[in-house]
Amino acid sequence: MRTSLVLIFSALAFSLASCGSRPKTDSNELVIGSGQIPNLVTKNGNNVHVVFGMGDSLYYSFSSNKGQSFSSPLLVDTLPGLVSFAMRGPQITNTTNGLAMIVATRVGNIFSYTKDGTGAWQRATRINDADTICKEGFLALGSDGNQNLFAAWLDLRNNAHNKIYGARSADGGKTWSKNFEIYASPDGTVCECCKPSVAVQGKNVYVMFRNRIEGSRDLYLIQSSDGGESFGEAKKLGTGSWKLNGCPMDGGSLAINPMGIPQTVWRREGTIYASEPGKDEKEIGTGKSCTMAVAGKNNVYAWVEDGGNIVCLLPNGKKENLGKGSLPVLKAIGEDELICVWQQDKKVRRTLVHL
């Protein structure tokens, strides 16, 4: 009997020691900080950079171990009227020398920030060259990974109707080009409350946005092949249409695969679709607030299902529950790892995903 008890206690001790030595599973959420509307970018394999807002305060946190842990949030700036709610929030991207970020204020101005090798953030300049034109606060930012950036936003100038406008930066976000119109709807306005997306690869710049034509709120993609100097014709994504007398507050997500082909995910009514230009749409789930990333050769998707569960659809068709919250953003860390950040109860949370 005594021998049996010794064996039982020994086995229990080994089990507890083994559990204690294991790393936390990636399904465990980590709270990065207090805030909302997070956005992120990954860089050089191990590094993850997250920005988010809280009131008028703009925060930054980073990880140097693939998102396993994060630094205490750093106050970048206090900007009166900072927009950081309802899909409107800071946008961040990589540059050769560091990072670049853009934000909007409630009066409709857009500001650029840069972070160099010293680790210091600087407010660089105002991007919009006409006053108070981005009152909806919907922005997108992309980079070729060097010093060339492209920003797009909903713009009210000239006729008080929302159009897609853009600007280029050739110095990592320190200065910006003259603003120019990318697209104006023939019905007067694009969808007023949906965030655009930007993806850049080499000289190719893609802008995705929700249009409004004859009452239909469908996603469109428009391309530049000269670094954003000029754009071609905007083309509708998918085969169906969504007639809606209102705004769905859902702009979808855009990425570019290793073959240089844009990949998109977006919502029509309560269904999530994935597509690429010139191909049929594919129904992948139900919900809202979808996001995507390309990891290696694989497309990975995440969205919010009814009930507030954030789910991730893996390439093998398996669906993982990441946690509860809203407005997820998904990015690849490597060819088989991804990180997802989102907001819940005014906390910025993250989880890791392995393929």
What pLDDT score does 5 carry?
37
What pLDDT score does 246 carry?
87
Q: In whole angstroms, what separates CA 169 from the centre of its chain?
A: 20
Amino acid sitting at position 21:
S
Q: Is the pLDDT of residue 19 over 90?
A: no
The strand pair at 30-34 and 347-354 is best described as antiparallel
**How many domains does the structure of the chain reveal?**
1
**Could you report the per-residue pLDDT of 206-254, keeping only the tens digit for each?**
999 999 999 999 999 999 999 999 999 999 999 999 999 988 989 999 9
Q: Is 196 among the domain residues?
A: yes
- The two tokens of residue 7 are 């064996």
Q: Is 10 among the domain residues?
A: no
What pLDDT score does 23 carry?
34
Residue 236, strand partner residues: 220
Residues 6+ apart with CB under 8 A from 91: 39, 101, 102, 103, 139, 140, 141, 151
Owning domain of residue 51? 26-354
Q: Is 168 among the domain residues?
A: yes
Q: Is 61 among the domain residues?
A: yes
Nearest 5°: the CA angle 225, 178, 260 is: 20
- CA distances (Å), origin 340, targets 158, 192, 290, 312, 321: 39, 27, 12, 9, 12
Q: Is the pLDDT of residue 26 over 70?
A: no
Residues 6+ apart with CB under 8 A from 288: 248, 250, 267, 270, 272, 303, 304
Q: Is 2 among the domain residues?
A: no
Q: Is 21 among the domain residues?
A: no
Tell me the torsion sign for CA atoms 324, 329, 334, 335.
Answer: positive
CB 211 within 8 A of CB 154: no
Q: Is 19 among the domain residues?
A: no
Q: Is 157 among the domain residues?
A: yes
The CATH number of whichever domain residue 197 belongs to comes to 2.120.10.10
